[in-house]
Amino acid sequence: MLLYVVSTVFVCYLSFNLRRNQLTPIVWNTLFWIILLFTAVNAIAKSFSQERHGRLLYYYSLCSPQAIIISKIIYNSLVMAVLSVLGFAIYAFVMGNPIQDNGLFSICILLASTGFASVLTLIAGIASKADNSATLMAVLSFPIILPMLLMTIRLAKNAMDGLDWSVSTDEITTLLSIDLIVITLSYLLFPYLWRS
Amino acid sequence: MRKIWWKILCVVIIFYVIIMGFIGPVPRLAIINESIRNTYFHVALWLAMTTLLFLSMIFSIRYLMKGNIKDDDIGSELAKSAIFFGILGCLTGSVWANYTWGDPWPNDPKLNGAAVGILIYLAYLLLRSSFEDEQRRARISSVYNIFAFAVFIPIIYILPRLTDSLHPGSGGNSTFGSYDFDNNIRRVFYPAVIGYILLGLWIAELRIRIKQINRVREEALIESGRL
């Protein structure tokens, strides 16, 4: 997955190489989050479909479904956090770093990776039950993740402009509440999902 | 047919809304002028759609609790008629925006949210169509339906209010009730919402009956050994 991030960033770097001066902060920001979004979809889509049927049965006989979904969400959030921090390091290294408020931006990365991970884990669980899970994963997850992506991009823009923290409290609370809603729903709904 | 009264009520209300909506008295406002009549159609359609989606979610929850396949039929057909209303709501809003805001699809957070919302529910239909087994399809799409509704409400009703939007109730614009909703409008608007909800229920009910008849016939065929 790390290689995936690195190569995507490098492809973007090479594509923008010709017109380096056209890379405005807005383009920089949007491009970074879209790279992260695709990384997240690809990384998390595997979390259910990769495991064999027998092993899933074994898990289910060991512990409750709530424990499984919570542990999967925590694991995926950690993976996403590591991937996005490393991705950001490489991205900033090749594309330049226009960020003025690093603290706010790291909060933004943290919230976004938790949010992406929790939404995509449940969607991956749903999609893995169907036959053509790769297509279904994209179709199901993009519209649902879009509001979260928009809030994140706005928050990241605030961090880049070095605005005061009080300006972005709205975005932070909204992101936090979306995360909470999604995690609660996954916790409640997953037991119905794994039974089939 | 014992329960035909609400269908008659539905037809009466819809005709009342159409007739009064076009010739009834409305307040005169700058820029909006006569196009305020679109409230009866566009806004009422969206409210009806949200109600239908809410009902659909309730039936999905009921299916997950009790496991009765009829609840899933009802939930999915309600969602389908809600999608139909959502598309109609988009079209009426688009016609109106063309004359009032000067653009059929202005770059407005609520419009984009609406488009995303419809995409979510189209994905729901796609998810339903990708299963063969009935029980499995019902369970997994019920899970998705509940999840989708929980995401849909923030997209349509909460996020646009945090940003600048051309719609009332967001970005410093006041809501409807405060300045331009006089009694003439109320007299048509509230019946309009009820009428559309009844119409949606009617459409859903017909489709549910077709579905159930098909199921019974299939079972009869299997039992008679011709399959």
Taking a C-beta distance cutoff of 8 angstroms, is the pair A186, A122 a contact?
A: yes
How many Å lie between the alpha carbon of A156 and the closest alpha carbon of chain B?
16
Banded pLDDT at B226 (limits 50, 70, 90):
low
* Domain-located, residue B183: no
ipTM: 0.77
Q: How many CB pairs under 8 A join A and B?
A: 70
* Domain-located, residue B185: no
Chain B contact present for A130, CB below 8 A: yes
State how far the Cα of A84 lies from the Cα of A95, in Å rounded to an integer.
15
* Domain-located, residue B181: no
Cβ-defined contact of B127 to A193 (cutoff 8 Å): no
* Domain-located, residue B180: no
pLDDT digits (tens, 9 = 90+) for A4-49: 878 887 787 777 766 666 677 788 888 888 888 888 888 888 777 7
pLDDT at B171: 42
Q: Which residue range(s) make up the domain with B161? A: 5-175+190-224
- Check pLDDT > 70 for residue B114: yes
Residue of A27, A149, A34, A129 lying closest to B137 (CA atoms): A129
State how far the Cα of B17 lies from the Cα of B64, in Å rounded to an integer.
38
pLDDT at B105: 74
Mark out the alpha helices in B130-182 (DSSP H runs): 134-153, 159-162, 176-179
* Domain-located, residue B11: yes
pLDDT digits (tens, 9 = 90+) for B153-163: 877 777 766 66
Cβ-defined contact of A147 to B130 (cutoff 8 Å): no
Residue of B33, B42, B47, B50 lying closest to B94 (CA atoms): B42
Among A131, A147, A170, beta carbon nearest to B154:
A147
> If you ran DSSP here, which 8-state letter would residue B175 be given?
P
| Number of domains forming the structure of chain A | 1
| Number of domains forming the structure of chain B | 1
- Check pLDDT > 70 for residue B167: no
Return the higher-pLDDT residue of A121 and B179.
A121
Closest residue on chain B to A141 (Cα):
B120
pLDDT at A104: 84
Burial of B162 (0-12, 13-18, 19+ CB in 10 A): middle
Mark out the alpha helices in chain A (DSSP H runs): 2-16, 25-49, 53-62, 65-95, 102-129, 133-161, 169-194
pLDDT digits (tens, 9 = 90+) for A174-184: 888 888 888 88
* Domain-located, residue B103: yes
Closest residue on chain A to B159 (Cα):
A147
Cβ-defined contact of B144 to A140 (cutoff 8 Å): yes
Query: For chain B, first and last CA: distance in Å?
Result: 34
Cβ-defined contact of A147 to B155 (cutoff 8 Å): yes
